[in-house]
Structures are given as C-alpha cells and as structure tokens.
A and B are shown apart, each in its own frame.
Chain A
C-alpha cells in the first residue's frame, strides 16, 4: 500500500475517543428507558414508592457506592500510571479495580438474596399481596440493578482483557488508548450507579 494515504497510516486517537463517547451515549439511552419507567411510576405511586424504599438497606447501598467510587479512582490512577510508564503499578491498580467490581457484586448478591429470602422477588406471592406501587418499585429495583450488575460484569471483563494487553505490552505508555476507553466505560457504570443509589435508597 502506498504511504501517500494518510488516514490509516497512523492511528486516529480522536476518532477512537469519539467512537467511545458515542457508544456511551447509547448505553445512557438504554438505561434511559428504565429511568423513564421509574419517573412515570414514581409520579403515579409516590406514596407506595416511599413505603417500599423503607425495605432497602441504605447501609448496603452506601457501601456499594463507596466501593464503586473507589474503583473509579483506581481506574483513573491506573491510566496515569501507564502514561508515566509505570507498567507494574498500572497493572496492580487495574487488578484492584476488578476486585472492587467483584466486591460490589458480592455485596449485591447478599442484598438480593436477603430480599428473596423475605419472599420479595418478581411475581412472588408476598410481593403480589402488596400495593401496586410496591410491586413496581421492586420490579424496577431488580431490573435496574440487575442490568447495572450485568454492566459491572462486562466492565470487569473488559478491564481484564486490557490488563492482559498491558502485561503483554500491547497496551503501553505509547498506546494507552484501550485502557482509557475501558476506563470511560467503567466510569459510565459508576455514574449509572450514582443515579440508582439515591433513586432507590435515599429518596423515600
């Protein structure tokens, strides 16, 4: 191929970032549908939502918020470390980020199983005996935190892949774009939680 063609001769950093941001938009819209449902049903059943929210543990939610916020910090630091050429340090930070993700999921697991134990899960007799708003509140709770949980898993997988690239040297202080994009994705996952937390645990 002739070297006269510039476009592909070197990697387009801005293009890659643009693509990533566009992708994040689509994720926000995906959750947007659920936020819309939340808004509609909250306005229809404000009192029921208030009652139902008492059933969620603010402490567990707060712990998960702290975990995710910290993981965003380690993620950001790992990028700084990589750009400074401190590969080992970056690898450690990426690993910690994944572990934070895992901790989040473990916590979530206990939270969910607690509710299920109490007999509160979609279509359960216990839940169906409650008011309409509470049924919908818990429906939204399971679906929104569930979809978010799936995103946490995907995020962890993406970081793991980039981690292996970093170990092999394909992601490096010259070429840190993949790690940055993985970071952007992780921050998105974080931000969505930042909205879920108050909507389900704080405002009652």
Chain B
C-alpha cells in the first residue's frame, strides 16, 4: 500500500479517524468539506434572491422572507464560508508542508478549532428554524433594529461568536507554527509567499476577532437585559455599535483577501516559469495591508454621522491601503512579463482573479472618496463592489488554488478540458451577474429591497440570467472535483513542477509529511 496519510492507521478508524484526527491535512479536508457545503447553501439563497428580483413586484417571496434571505446569505457567505475559507482549508493543509514541518504547533487545538467551527455553524443554522425565525437584520446586525426585532438574532449572533473563537485559535496556531516550526534553512525570506500571507492573516485573525466577539456579546446582553449601551433613550449611542462592528469587520476583509493573494502569488511563478518579481515587496505589502487595515474602518460609516475631520482622515487612510494592494498587482504582472506562460486551469483562474479583483479594488476607491460615497452608499454599487472583491477576488483565487493544489491533496488531476470549459462559464456568468449591478447602483437602485421601480428591470433581468450561468459553472466545478477523486488521471508527485517545499514530498504526503526533515538551501521560486 502507498505510504500516504489516507492510509496510515490512526487511533480511530472510519469517520472517527477524521473527526477526531489531529493531522493538519485531515483537518484541512474536514474544513474543505464543510465549506463546500455552506458555499452551496449560500449560493442557493443567492439564486433565490436573484429569482425574486427577475421582475418588478412580488414574484415568489414576501418582503420579510427576502430580508431573511439576504441576511442568511450574508451570514453564511461571510462567517461560515469566506472567513474560514482559504486559511482553514488550504492553509491548514499547506502551511506545515510549505515550511517543512510535521504538523501545526498545536494539533489538538487545531482540531478543537474545527469543532468550534462546526458547533458555531450548527448554532447559526438552528437559529434559522427556531424562535422567532431567521434573523432579518442584514449580516451587519446593526442596532437598534437588531435589538428590537423579534427574530432569532441572539442565537445567530452566539453562533457567530463561536465561529470567532474558531478563527482566533486558528490564527494563534498559525503564528506559533510559523515562528517555531520552520525546517532548518527555512529562513523568513525563503518562505513561500502563501505562507507569508497566512502569517499576516493570522495576526489579523488574532487581533481583530476579539473585538467582534465582545461586540456580539454586547448585542446579546442588550437583547436580554436592555442595559442601553446603544440605546439613545438611555444615553447610549448606536453609532458606537457600528464603530465596534467595523473595527473588526474591515480588518476581516483582509482575512478574506490576503490568503487569496498569497495563493495567487504562489501560482503565478509556477505557470510563468519565472521567479516572482519583488519577493520582499509582496511579503511586506501583506504586512502593510494587515496593519493599515486596522485604521480605515470609518469608511463604512461616512453617511452614519461623523465629523468632517474624521471622515477626511478615514478617506485618506483608505486610499493608502490601496498602495500595498497595487504593489501586489504590479508585481504579479511584472512576474509574468517575458515568462513562458502556461494557461492551465489554475492560471486561468489566476488571471481572472487579477482582472476581477482590480475592478473590485478600483471601485472600492470610488467609495473611499467622500463625495462619491454619499452618492453610492447603500446602493447596488456596493453589492457589485463587494461581490467583485469577495467572489471575483477571493473565491476565484480559491478556485485557482483548488485546481493548483488538488494533485497535492488527492494525488490526481482534475479533468483539464472540463476545467477550461467551466472556467469560461464562471467568468462570463460572473460578469453578467454582477456588472449590471454597478450600473443599477449608479442609477440609484438601493440594496436590500425585494422590489424595485420598473426602470431598473433590464439590469435586474440580465443579472438574474447571469446568476444561472454562474451557478452552472459552479456545479460543473464541483462535479469535476468529486469525479476526479476516483477517476482523475494520476498526477505524480509534482505535476506542475512547483519549486516550493510542499511539492518536494510525495502526493498525497505521508502522515509525517516528509520522509526526513528537509534542509532548505534555496528560495521558494528558484526553478533552475
């Protein structure tokens, strides 16, 4: 029998060999399975909303149901899918491999994080079917409505609190792992840039998540004891809730995007056969993004009530964050310059990431400017913007990384021909779905409404058709993913000729990752 972690007998067998395993690779795959499930749930809710919006007037859901739909869609996509997203799945799997370690620093804590995640997810899902019904506040849980509504906000918020613990512990684990468990010769500047991005992300997870934890706790306390922290009638200030919420939730967008950028940075050199351009600039820009990311939360509140002076400061700082992101984009493009580019599926997704993320990022700047912000705030422009960043950015990068590391995880290749077909479907579907939203938003279509004026009809109709195309692509991808598990072509150890450390061991790796502790003598992208 081959020596890989699927076959090594552990303490438990069968399903228990997975859900009680402390092997980072198994935990990574547990997360992957969970995350796929929630992504599909979230997508179904998204499709339902799009269907409702296919024509003006009520189609098939009531206003209240629509409120629940966008709330639950947002909560699932943000807290259950994209925040654990890349770090917990591919990060868990690849981080120890990339630095030549046997596992993460605290394997049992790692397992516990997954259990927290699962438990939190179950609580969130329970909140949909019990009590006053699914929350209808939007994923931001703004007071005072979230305190007053009769829907099951407390339970949902408690679930998110548990998910926060999971995320914090993962961050803690990764930081310690990177500091303590690098193989001999794996200096900081020989680390793959995916690992660098996980490092920056882990700090954000560690230092921002407690703020959302306390904010959500306060919300629960408010709902149960009506203390009045956010209630003007008792001297409280609702705006303070928004501040606390965004002090976490803006950095959280970097929890979402940094690992995605890291994966992209690892893929580009492999498929251009060139060393990465500006290694240190990319590494430090991850750190810079993480740091600056703490200082810009106010840009979500330009219209909520703030002094002009603070608005100007927040706007300025927001423009500054664009600098390190821009550095990355330029470095990626420069790395491809004069390379011998191979357009395999991971690279196709990577290139579309760069394109879509740039659109998302640049439209973000538009909202960072005070004057335009007032115009587009609370419109579909925002909906388009964050789907371009999160879906076009993070999720496309996630897909790229899945195709890239698939052979590492499963020892087989995904069907390449099919992959190219659904890549095209996904890319077109995505733009048909979301691009019209920019226009709708610019024309004034507000977000979070189940109905609209007839003059917005065309845009919404196109968008809904796009959602069907996109969903087809997603389903084809999942089909390919699961079919290739048994039918995929055998990949060999290193099908893409990657130079980073995870490719230097067998695919799939043995339980202890490397036959013997690797000695690192060169940088991560030296192909010759």
Contacts from A to B (Cβ < 8 Å): 1-2, 4-8, 12, 14-15, 18-19, 22-23, 25-27, 29-34, 36-37, 40-41, 44-45, 122-123, 128, 131-133, 135-136, 139, 142-143, 147
Q: Which residues of B contact A14 (CB under 8 A)?
A: 180
Query: B235 in the interface, Cβ–Cβ < 8 Å?
Result: yes
Q: Which residues of A contact B207 (CB under 8 A)?
A: 25-26, 29
Instruction: Closest A residue to B212 by CB, please name it.
Output: A33
Q: Considering the complex, which residues of chain B in the window 501-528 have a beta carbon less than 8 Å from any beta carbon of chain A?
A: 512, 514-517
B310 to chain A, nearest CB (A): 14
B108 to chain A, nearest CB (A): 12
Instruction: Closest B residue to A1 by CB, please name it.
Output: B512
B214 to chain A, nearest CB (A): 3
26 pairs, A vs B, C-beta closer than 8 Å: A2-B516, A4-B517, A5-B102, A5-B512, A7-B181, A12-B105, A14-B180, A15-B179, A15-B181, A18-B175, A18-B179, A23-B172, A26-B210, A29-B207, A29-B211, A30-B213, A32-B210, A33-B214, A33-B244, A37-B218, A122-B226, A135-B234, A136-B228, A139-B227, A139-B229, A143-B218
Contact B206 A22, beta carbon cutoff 8 Å: yes
A139 to B225, CA, bound (A): 10
Contact B103 A8, beta carbon cutoff 8 Å: yes
Q: Considering the complex, which residues of chain B in the window 163-203 have a beta carbon less than 8 Å from any beta carbon of chain A?
A: 168, 172-173, 175-176, 179-181
A22 to B109, CA, bound (A): 14
A143 to B515, CA, bound (A): 53
Contact A34 B214, beta carbon cutoff 8 Å: yes
In the complex, number of A-B residue pairs with CB atoms less than 8 Å apart: 110
A37 to chain B, nearest CB (A): 6
Contact B228 A25, beta carbon cutoff 8 Å: no
Query: B209 in the interface, Cβ–Cβ < 8 Å?
Result: yes
Contacts from B to A (Cβ < 8 Å): 101-103, 105-106, 109, 168, 172-173, 175-176, 179-181, 206-207, 209-211, 213-215, 217-218, 221, 225-229, 234-237, 240, 244, 512, 514-517
Which single member of A7, A29, A133, A143 contacts B227 (CB below 8 Å)? A143
Q: Which residues of B contact A22 (CB under 8 A)?
A: 172, 175-176, 206
Contact B105 A19, beta carbon cutoff 8 Å: yes
A187 to B225, CA, bound (A): 30
Q: Which residues of A contact B512 (CB under 8 A)?
A: 1-2, 5
Q: Which residues of A contact B226 (CB under 8 A)?
A: 122-123
Instruction: Closest B residue to A147 by CB, please name it.
Output: B217
Contact B235 A135, beta carbon cutoff 8 Å: yes
A170 to chain B, nearest CB (A): 15
Contact B240 A5, beta carbon cutoff 8 Å: no
Q: Which residues of B contact A4 (CB under 8 A)?
A: 516-517
A34 to B211, CA, bound (A): 9
A113 to B76, CA, bound (A): 41
Most chain B beta-carbon contacts within 10 A, residue among A40, A131, A136: A136
